Amino acid sequence: MKRRSIIPLTLLTLSLLSTPMLSAQEGGKVSSEAGLQPRTAALQQGMADGAVHQLIALPYATNALEPVISERTVKLHHGKHLAGYVSKLNQLLVENKIMERDLVKLVKFASGSVFDNAGQLLNHNLYFTQFKPANMKQIEEPKGALAEAIKRSFGSFEKFRERFEKAGTSIFGSGWLWLAANEHGSLYIDKEPNGGNPVTIGLIPILGIDVWEHAYYLDYENRRAEHLKQIWHIIDWEVVSRRYEERASFFSK
Ligand SMILES: [Fe+2]
């Protein structure tokens, strides 16, 4: 599949397609004595209230994913790396006077640092909410419509896992491995560099695996393939199946 067929647009275009963006001129009117212009002040008041992007809570204990992912990795990954993306994105939105807050729209239309941090925030929010406490006795399988779509697209769940793991192992450097769907329900394995997300090519993210080293290096060192082989023991297929079934509303949420 052709990747990056939708080129991220500039921040100027983003402002035209979504909510209004404050102009540089308006920002330049700020008086050091009289305070901020009303619209700028409102934007910054939002930041002061912490009403922009927040660090999501984990839907399980920090040690619940062991032995697949250690508590140390979860705490660092969620509490430091993800928290850092939240903080940086909020800072960038203010610095660039971007009024748009919707993460999917930011990832689709922004570029540069805003794209990078919005992408990482969207990616990690999907990542951390698709797991459940480890079941080391067996690898659970999806049911219903997603199970049928996997069989249709890949032949069987086992063949899908094999192709998915192989794709993840082949990503050069930092990136993300995705199972993505189009609106008609066809499934794709999408390899994205850095903070990429399938929304940039018009697909809906269903299952996302972080292959940045911070996601696994403490537990597996350089053995990414081993990490990917173990990841199936923590996938919450109910969450992933819901994403698949509700894909039609993804871009309108
Ligand atoms: Fe990460």
pLDDT tens digits along 218-242 = 999 999 999 999 999 999 999 999 9
pTM for this entry: 0.81
- Which residues, including other chains, have CB under 8 Å from residue 214's CB and lie 6 or more apart? 76, 77, 81
**Which whole number is the average pLDDT over 171-175?**
97
CA of 218 to the centre of ligand 1 (A): 13
CA of 215 to the centre of ligand 1 (A): 5
Who has greater pLDDT, 166 or 42? Answer: 166
Domain assignment present for residue 246? The answer is yes
Q: What is the per-residue pLDDT across 64-106, written as a single tens digit (0 to 9) for each?
A: 999 999 999 999 999 999 999 999 999 999 999 999 999 999 9
- pLDDT for the residue 149: 98
Same structural domain, 16 and 117: yes
Who has greater pLDDT, 18 or 3? Answer: 3
Same structural domain, 122 and 159: no
- pLDDT for the residue 51: 52
- What amino acid is encoded at 173 in this protein? G
Same structural domain, 30 and 121: yes
**DSSP secondary structure of the chain:** -----SPPPPHHHHHHHSS----HHHHHT-BTTTB--HHHHHHHHHHHTT-S--PPPPSS-TTTTTTTS-HHHHHHIIIIIIHHHHHHHHHHHHHTT-----HHHHHHH--HHHHHHHHHHHHHHHHHTSB-S---S------HHHHHHHHHHHSSHHHHHHHHHHHHHH--SSEEEEEEE-TT--EEEEEEETT--GGGGT-EEEEEEE-SGGGTHHHHTT-HHHHHHHGGGGB-HHHHHHHHHTGGGGGG-
**Which whole number is the average pLDDT over 6-21?**
32
Domain assignment present for residue 248? The answer is yes
Who has greater pLDDT, 27 or 253? Answer: 253
- pLDDT for the residue 38: 36
Domain assignment present for residue 6? The answer is no
CA of 212 to the centre of ligand 1 (A): 6
- pLDDT for the residue 18: 33
Domain assignment present for residue 153? The answer is yes
- Residue 240's nearest CA partner among 95, 135, 100, 143 is 143
- pLDDT for the residue 39: 36
Who has greater pLDDT, 51 or 214? Answer: 214
CA of 52 to the centre of ligand 1 (A): 21
> Where residue 170 sits, what CATH number does that domain have?
3.55.40.20
Same structural domain, 124 and 148: no
CA of 33 to the centre of ligand 1 (A): 42
- pLDDT for the residue 35: 29
- pLDDT for the residue 11: 36
The β-bridge partners of 35 are 31
Q: Which structure tokens are listed for 167? A: 């794709």
Q: Residue 252 — very low, low, confident or very high, per pLDDT cuts 50/70/90?
A: confident
CA of 210 to the centre of ligand 1 (A): 6
Same structural domain, 118 and 148: no
Same structural domain, 123 and 197: no
Which structural domain, as residue segments, surrounds residue 197? 144-252
Same structural domain, 70 and 159: no
- pLDDT for the residue 251: 85
Same structural domain, 165 and 243: yes
Same structural domain, 34 and 62: yes
- pLDDT for the residue 253: 67
Looking at the 3D structure of the chain, how many domains does it have?
A: 2
CA of 104 to the centre of ligand 1 (A): 18
Q: What is the per-residue pLDDT across 240-251, written as a single tens digit (0 to 9) for each?
A: 999 999 999 998
Q: How many CA atoms lie within 13 A of 49 on its CB side?
A: 8
